[in-house]
Amino acid sequence: MSGSGTDRSKTLSDLVGPVVILVEPQLGENIGTAARAMGNFGLTRLRLVKPRDGWPNVHAQRAASGADHVLNAVELFDTVEEAVADCTLLYATTARAHDQAKPVMAPDAAASETIAHIKTGATAGILFGRERYGLQNEEVALANRIMTFPVNPGFSSLNLAQAVLLCGYEWFKQATANALPYTMPERSERASQHQMTAFFDNLVAELDKVEFLRPPEKRDTMLVNLRNIFTRMEPSKQDMHTLHGVVMAIAEGRKGPAKGGVLDGEQATRLRALLAEHGGKAKEHESGTVRGLARMLRRNPTDAERILWEHLRADRRFAGQFKRQTPVGRHIPDFVSFPERIAVELVNPDETEVIVADRASRQTWLEERGYRVCAIRADDVTRDIAPELDRLAMLLDSGMPGQG
């Protein structure tokens, strides 16, 4: 975990905090880890009183793990009195009472007082004693307050860096109004009831195929429980598309990816509504979802799509020219000829307003880029496809826009 939270691209905190004063620290490693704790919580002013191994200290630099901005600004003093001379509010950290009549405060209360004091332009400081025996009585006597920590009375000794970290944490938490460095990434919009219903209907249809919802007398209860699982999740639109893809992938895997299936008109309409609702507003990182929905439609054609596709491949007038459910930019028409720049749209019965609006938007987008759009009613294809094929052939020959 060392360094894992350090982001050099981000600006260091510029808050003015209390001065940290280490009295006769013995090991360079302890100075370095204390400086690291200060850096974690925005403290920058470090003063050393007679460090045993001198200064600068290579061991301190190594232990600081990148808190160089703290170590580079270290101030050295020969006596505690000199180190705290400008402090008008001084805390002495100690686990022992020292038999001195001074206010005793926990770090959170001391942090609140420190913030208010510094706002007046004054200087506050926190004294930390030696690793072996802490602060002497004479040094505690210099302080206005005693700061101690709510620790186990039978095992109350903290190492130097731990004590600095606890003080820094309480101060920084209050100085920044408890702000966290990051939050959860923004989710896509919450799924609509239309999306939820379309997904659930598709799920139930697949569960019925494998006779999951049995015995019959428990079916209604099982459906309520299943629906509650998803509504409790409060899924986003992206979640719904992912779940829908999972269900379809399982269904396709069961029958073999090459075989495909046949969607009835109602199923096709629901799936197209999902594609229409998501496709027009898809962000760049969600393009895979749009293509995934198109892939479902491609693998599960309606009767009308299957009939038209077979004729487009077999009829010499069109053979090799058209592709099915292929993206054109961010849009996916039912059939498209890139050489002829023609898009064919199948209009299914009882389409929703969302689908109709999406088709109109897609047609405008395509025509602005030189494509001709031919709308064909699905019912006309299943009833008698010959006139529709003739109309499409005339469109290829004429170069004129095609309307259904």
pLDDT in tens, the chain (404 residues): 444 556 655 666 678 999 999 999 999 999 999 999 999 999 999 999 999 999 999 999 999 998 999 999 999 999 999 999 999 999 999 988 777 889 999 999 999 999 999 999 999 999 999 988 899 999 999 999 999 999 888 888 889 999 999 999 999 999 999 888 777 766 678 888 888 888 888 889 888 887 888 888 999 999 999 999 988 988 888 888 888 888 877 776 654 443 445 555 566 656 666 665 554 444 444 455 555 566 666 666 778 888 998 899 888 888 888 888 788 877 788 899 988 899 999 888 877 787 788 888 889 989 998 999 999 999 999 999 999 999 999 888 876 544 44
The per-residue pLDDT for 348 is 85
Identify the CATH number of the domain in which residue 85 sits.
Answer: 3.40.1280.10
**3 state DSSP class of 192:** coil
The per-residue pLDDT for 257 is 40
Q: Is the previous residue joined to 153 through a cis bond, with omega within 30 degrees of 0?
A: no
Q: Is 270 inside a domain boundary?
A: no
Q: Is 106 inside a domain boundary?
A: yes
Look at the chain and report how many structural domains it folds into. 2
The CA distances from residue 290 to 191, 220, 395, in Å, are: 16, 33, 29
The per-residue pLDDT for 12 is 64
Q: Is 280 inside a domain boundary?
A: no
* Number of C-beta neighbours around residue 193 at 10 A: 8
* Number of C-beta neighbours around residue 47 at 10 A: 21
Between CA 158 and CA 135 the distance in angstroms is 13
The per-residue pLDDT for 402 is 47
Which of 134, 154, 175 marks a domain boundary? Answer: 175
Largest CA distance in the chain: 105
Between CA 300 and CA 263 the distance in angstroms is 6
Which of 127, 149, 175 marks a domain boundary? Answer: 175
Q: Which domain holds residue 30?
A: 19-175
Identify the CATH number of the domain in which residue 352 sits.
Answer: 3.40.960.10
Structure tokens at 383: 């009833």
Q: Is 214 inside a domain boundary?
A: no
Q: Containing H/E element for 345? A: strand 342-347
The per-residue pLDDT for 256 is 42
Q: Is 90 inside a domain boundary?
A: yes
Are residue 163 and residue 29 in the same domain, yes or no? yes
Classify residue 228 as exposed, middle or buried by CB count within 10 Å of its CB (0-12, 13-18, 19+).
Answer: exposed
CA 379 to chain centre: 45
Kindly report the pTM of this predicted structure: 0.52
Structure tokens at 22: 């280490």
Q: Is 229 inside a domain boundary?
A: no
The per-residue pLDDT for 284 is 44
Which of 146, 175, 204 marks a domain boundary? Answer: 175
Between CA 281 and CA 287 the distance in angstroms is 10
